[in-house]
Amino acid sequence: MTKTIFIASAEPYSGKSVVTLGIVDMLLGKAQRIGYFKPIINTDPAEFKDVHIQTILSHFQLPLAFEDTYAFTRAEALQLLNEQSQGEMIDTIISRFKKIEENYDFTVIEGGDFTGQGTAFDFESNLLIARNLNAPVVLVVSGDGKSISETIQDGLNLFHAYQSREIQVLALVANKVHADQANDVRKLLASQLPKGVISAVISADKALQNPTVSDIFGHLDGRLLFGGEHLSNQVDNFVTGAMQVPNFLSFLKENVLIVTPGDRGDIIISSLQANLSSSYPRVAGIVLTAGVVPEEPVMRLIEGLQNVVPIIAVNGGTFETTNKIAAVKARITPDNSKKIQLAIDTFNRCVDTGALDEKMVTYHSDAMTPHMFQYQLSKWAKKEIKNIVLPEGNDDRIILAAGRLIAQQLVKLTLLGNPTEIAASIKRLGIDLDINDITIIDPANSGHYEDYVETLYELRKSKNLTMEMARDLMTDVSYFGTMMVYKGHADGMVSGAVHTTQHTIRPALQFIKTKPGISTVSSIFFMCLEDRVSVFGDCAVNPNPTAEELAQIAISSADNSMRFGIEPRIAMLSYSSGTSGAGEDVEKVRRATELVRQQRPDLKVEGPIQYDAAVDPVVGQQKLPGSEVAGQASVLIFPDLNTGNNTYKAVQRETGALAIGPMLQGLNKPVNDLSRGCTVDDVFNTVIITAIQSQNA
């Protein structure tokens, strides 16, 4: 059974890194431990570490040391070749690779980059290494600047070179193909490759191909004056600012880098103003040439501005600097999470990952690791795209998360708030989000406002709600968003970044209400630990549940555990295990455990049980020998809110675990609450689980 795949190209800047990122991401959704190996790297790590290796290790948090991911530098390998010691080189590569293979479920191998001297060496060494490691390959060919026939011929030549060496080719990916050529390239590749070889075409994308200001800064011998927080700005165009301002402004294009002498205060100020204006394209950054910085009044003016684009000062002349900028090639770097995610999303969109998975004999594990869990969440969300309403549409965290969610095509989104303010925030934050891809509603000015007011009045008039009170409440974003869910105009709601938990869930309790047979609304967190995902409940809603409520929380938590791919083994937590303890609190847990067994005999449950006995196999078997749950619990039910909330936060802070939630359970339709201290990742993950909940609502 093969546990490896080799990714190879035959030219520089083919976009091989996009394919590598996509494949590693795909594999991490299926296997616990993924290894990465690049036999030959371009530069000596003592001088400059390979950026792509750092990106792979950092983004996917692979437990590999940099020095273990390669065997030779290009110079070392060429020296061995010159000394006719090719066998020694291959033996060392195999030895290094086997150390990784032995410790990982699957290993991704990446071939040479063709960016140094001796590109013929890269080609031959890729063939030699793939053959000796007995690794099937995915080939990558670039269509950048090529005709359709040239792209096809290059791809077929590369395929036949590997086939002639009896190397199994799983797929051929034509990358950076002009959009107008994509369909023709796709059809011709599919028709000319042997049946069973997967073909894919990735259209040219300037967001992937064009450099960032950071890339350019790294190639210029300059210093950063302002805007360090925006170095990730993408550069799609550059222009020399050497004319009068009115003429200069007419040359600005989207994501433009402006190159101008440092004493041109008029160009600098007009560029910064254009970036703030909704009438001009976005400015990516400014490069000041000739070793001159702006005069003191101009510098003082810039220092007083907020969200200033990067301004870089260099000693070289304008012409020299412009030539250097034109030669910069884009890189996917560890700090550019936006471009990394775009690369992964592009791969998933353009390559038939299901067919590729069938071709790859992968290791499958029953364990649910955090990366597997998040991978599965995205897959589940995409099965049935749902519309989620976010009432706090003016909050930066909400807007940033919205950009990621829409970019990955995981959900449809409705943001509540002022459309003009939200549009301005999108531009200010530099998010690549088309405002037409989301729905923005100002509740008081919505066409549904009167209908929602009438509906709320009819639902709550028996509770002494007047029509005037209904009108007032329906201007509240929590009530308006909840009513959208109630009326079916949205599939679920996520709020709480600004509002309290009570403010978020009160409307849901008033008119969405609980599912039949359920009287207790509760919550769970998905705790993504280093090697597993556990379900913690209830850590957010019920202060001191009764035995009956605790049993209901446990059953709801187990059902949701199954829904999200985690086999439920329920631990009803207490300060004692088994029959060793006594007291009111222990008896409540013991009673709740019996109720779970009576109501759901299909579930594995143990209680009362201490936390260590629930999760540690050795302690579990010591305290409760023979238990199906002790030592391997996946659903942990806390006896009260004080214990649950403090425990989840302690585990999160002390272990670095990702806590996804809280996810409310028991409501007829999904409404989920955020913490007011939530991060963009929290918003992102909570929206996804809300969308998945709504698929089954």
Low-confidence ranges of the chain (pLDDT < 50): 363-364
Structure tokens at 228: 């360090």
CATH annotation of 213-326:
3.40.1390.20
Q: What is the DSSP string of 471-521?
A: HHHTTSHHHHHHHHHHHTSSSEEEE-SSS-HHHHHHHIIIII-BPTT----
For the chain, which residues make up each domain, given as ranges? 4-204+337-359, 213-326, 370-511, 517-666
**pLDDT at res. 363:** 39
User: What is the architecture, at CATH level 2, of domain 517-666?
Assistant: 3-Layer(aba) Sandwich (3.40)
4-204+337-359 CATH pick, 3.40.50.300, 3.40.50.1100, 3.50.50.60, 3.90.226.10: 3.40.50.300
Q: What is the pLDDT of residues 511-527, one digit of tens each?
A: 888 888 888 899 999 99
95: burial class by Cβ within 10 Å (0-12, 13-18, 19+)?
exposed
Q: One-letter amino acid identity for 468?
A: E
**370-511 shares its CATH topology with 517-666:** yes
Integer angstrom CA distances of residue 344 from 19, 23, 205, 351: 8, 8, 13, 11
Tell me the CATH class for 370-511. Answer: alpha beta
**pLDDT at res. 117:** 62
Residues 6+ away with beta carbon under 8 Å from 502: none
